[in-house]
């Protein structure tokens, strides 16, 4: 497929003519999409064009969805306890003046605003300073692959000077040519390092026992505690190679990269926080864990153990009940199976319930986040007491880890992952994170071993150790 620039520019001029009447307001965001030839999106993450820009990459291989958003035209950054309310107010201002040609291209459920929120606001670590508590942006360019087709979505602030708009658009077309020429084979540069932990088992055991004491006193029924592991990186790694490896190892997970300034937040999350489309919301209740077996027989034994483990079933039921209570407030129809399924990943398996609900009124997707976050799966129950315990006792700030990350638009569509199985790359260091749900009967050594399994998706990209895949 050849890019017919003359035709595309003509279509863009017609689009500008059709929106010329909306320029009375101070902020008018427009979005113009068009089809382009095949391009290897993941390889662009390591290109000089992209890596010096704030960017956001997202891939769900099993759903044939992949996109790269970069070069913000609008940043929506809010901090503090009212971060999501402030974000929603700013989103509403933009939405009232938004226009696109998406339907003309046969496109729907298109990402427009990308980013995420931290686990908790007002954390003090300088490690996460490049990200706001609620951190979103509208990209100038979004390269979108749906199935076998690739599109450019060009977002811009409407300017009444048509010549400026046309010139800017011509520059975008030239950039597409440049990106296509740099979309070649994946780089192979990747260093492998030995493990180096930033916290010990003794430290872990101490905080676990504090949590178990709160549980025995009846203050908590569950608290999710996390570990941070630090690696020194001696050289710059190819982010394209790292992300491609995550995609190959974890094809059923959300693969993501969120870059702000000199910080890269990457991950392979197995857990959907919410997917919204066509008036329906879908939420994962994922909790309870067991390792994969080293043989088919052992793997089935692990599955049987998980499905019959009182501790793990209690942990997963708490998440189901929490989500069900929330969905009751926004839906009259909730669909899910009482018995959990097993979600098998290459190195771990979880109890899993898919919950779907029909939204009973129109609601901005961003307004759902404070209703769903944080769930007992990444915080605990009761969540307020569990959250306070985490913030008081964990020696590290979680930042975006166990927050949520994803995208949404003004057509009632969006998708968010719980930002677990993730890590931060900053100043030639990797900070990787993993958490475990602590309930009555939890044992520090077993939880420590579980956290080791959960750390592998990120650590295996850098350490000289294979992740077992049956």
Q: Are residues 447 and 397 in the same domain?
A: yes
CA distance 60 to 153: 19
Q: Are residues 280 and 345 in the same domain?
A: yes
Q: Are residues 214 and 113 in the same domain?
A: no
> What pLDDT sits at residue 194?
59
**Alpha helices, H only, 368-429:** 369-372, 383-393
Q: CB-based burial of residue 171 (10 Å sphere; 0-12 exposed, 13-18 middle, 19+ buried)?
A: exposed
> In this structure, what token pair is assigned to residue 386?
């569990």
> What pLDDT sits at residue 470?
28
Helix H or strand E segment including 18: helix 5-18
Q: Are residues 255 and 349 in the same domain?
A: yes
Nearest partner of 154 among 109, 99, 96, judged by Cα: 99
Q: Are residues 42 and 140 in the same domain?
A: yes
> What pLDDT sits at residue 467?
34
Domain harbouring 386, CATH code: 3.60.120.10
How many domains are there within the chain? 2
211, 392 in Cβ contact below 8 A?
no
Strand 55-60 to 254-260 pairing: antiparallel
> What pLDDT sits at residue 16?
87
Q: Which residues form the catalytic set? A: 222, 271
Q: Are residues 426 and 281 in the same domain?
A: yes
What is the chain's pLDDT, residue by residue, as a tens digit (470 residues)? Answer: 567 889 999 999 899 888 865 555 555 789 999 999 888 899 899 888 888 899 999 998 777 789 999 999 999 999 999 999 999 888 888 887 888 999 988 888 899 999 999 999 988 889 999 999 999 999 999 999 988 899 999 999 887 666 677 888 888 888 888 877 776 655 555 666 655 656 678 888 999 999 999 999 999 999 999 999 988 887 777 888 889 989 988 888 999 999 999 899 999 999 999 999 989 999 999 888 888 998 999 999 999 999 999 989 988 998 899 899 989 988 889 999 999 999 988 888 999 999 999 998 777 888 888 888 888 889 998 989 999 999 999 989 999 999 999 999 988 899 999 999 999 999 888 999 999 999 998 999 999 999 988 998 888 888 754 333 32
Q: Are residues 279 and 351 in the same domain?
A: yes
Which sign, positive or negative, has the C-alpha torsion 375, 376, 381, 383? Answer: negative
Residues 6+ apart with CB under 8 A from 133: 78, 79, 80, 83, 117, 118, 121, 122
359, 331 in Cβ contact below 8 A?
yes
> What pLDDT sits at residue 137?
97
Helix H or strand E segment including 57: strand 55-60
Residue 312 domain-assigned?
Answer: yes
Beta-carbon-side half-sphere exposure of residue 43 (alpha carbons within 13 Å): 13
Residue 128 domain-assigned?
Answer: no
> What pLDDT sits at residue 1?
56
Is the link from the previous residue into 374 a cis peptide, with omega within 30 of 0?
Answer: yes
Domain, as residue range, for 142: 5-122+134-182
> In this structure, what token pair is assigned to residue 124?
């003090």
Nearest partner of 439 among 336, 341, 310, 344, judged by Cα: 310
> What pLDDT sits at residue 466?
38
Q: Are residues 256 and 340 in the same domain?
A: yes
Which sign, positive or negative, has the C-alpha torsion 448, 453, 459, 460? Answer: positive
Q: What Rg value do the Cα atoms of the chain yield, rounded?
A: 23
> To 5 degrees, how large is the angle CA 337–CA 339–CA 340?
95
């Amino acid at each position: 497929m050849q890019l017919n620039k003359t035709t595309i520019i003509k279509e863009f001029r017609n689009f500008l003519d059709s929106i010329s009447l909306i320029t009375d307001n101070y902020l008018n965001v427009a979005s113009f999409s068009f089809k382009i030839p095949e391009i290897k999106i993941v390889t662009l993450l390591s290109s000089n064009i992209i890596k010096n820009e704030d960017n956001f990459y997202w891939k769900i291989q099993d759903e044939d969805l992949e996109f790269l958003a970069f070069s913000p035209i609008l940043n929506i950054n809010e901090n503090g306890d009212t971060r999501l309310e402030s974000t929603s107010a700013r989103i509403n201002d933009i939405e009232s003046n938004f226009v696109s040609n998406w339907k003309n291209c046969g496109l729907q459920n298109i990402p427009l605003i990308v980013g995420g929120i931290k686990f908790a606001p007002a954390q003090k670590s300088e490690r996460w300073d490049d990200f706001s508590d609620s951190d979103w942006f509208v990209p100038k360019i979004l390269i979108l692959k749906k199935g076998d087709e690739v599109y450019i979505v060009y977002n811009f602030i409407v300017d009444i000077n048509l010549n400026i708009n046309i010139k800017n658009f011509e520059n975008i077309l030239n950039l597409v040519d440049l990106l296509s020429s740099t979309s070649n084979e994946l780089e192979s540069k990747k260093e492998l390092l030995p493990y180096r932990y930033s916290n010990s088992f003794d430290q872990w055991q101490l905080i676990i026992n504090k949590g178990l004491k709160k549980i025995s006193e009846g203050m908590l029924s569950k608290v999710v505690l996390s570990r941070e592991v630090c690696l020194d990186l001696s050289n710059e790694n190819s982010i394209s190679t790292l992300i491609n490896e995550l995609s190959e190892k974890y094809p059923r997970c959300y693969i993501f990269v969120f870059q702000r300034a000199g910080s890269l937040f990457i991950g392979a999350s197995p857990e959907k926080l919410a997917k919204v489309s066509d008036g329906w919301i879908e939420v994962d209740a994922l909790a309870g864990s067991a390792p994969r077996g080293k043989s088919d027989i052992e793997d089935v034994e692990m599955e049987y153990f998980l499905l019959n483990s009182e501790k793990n079933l209690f942990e997963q039921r708490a998440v189901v009940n929490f989500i069900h209570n929330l969905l009751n407030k926004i839906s009259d129809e909730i669909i899910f199976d009482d018995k959990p399924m097993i979600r098998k990943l290459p190195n771990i398996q979880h109890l899993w319930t898919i919950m779907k609900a029909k939204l009973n009124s129109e609601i901005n997707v961003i307004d759902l986040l404070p209703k769903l976050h944080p769930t007992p799966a990444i915080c605990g129950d009761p969540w307020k007491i569990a959250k306070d315990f985490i913030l008081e006792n964990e020696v590290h700030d979680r930042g975006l880890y166990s927050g949520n990350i994803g995208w949404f638009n003004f057509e009632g569509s969006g998708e968010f992952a719980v930002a677990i199985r993730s890590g931060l790359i900053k100043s030639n260091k990797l900070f990787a994170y993993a958490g475990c749900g602590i309930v009555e009967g939890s044992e520090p050594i077993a939880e420590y071993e579980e956290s080791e399994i959960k750390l592998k998706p990120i650590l295996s990209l850098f350490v000289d150790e294979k992740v077992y895949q049956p």
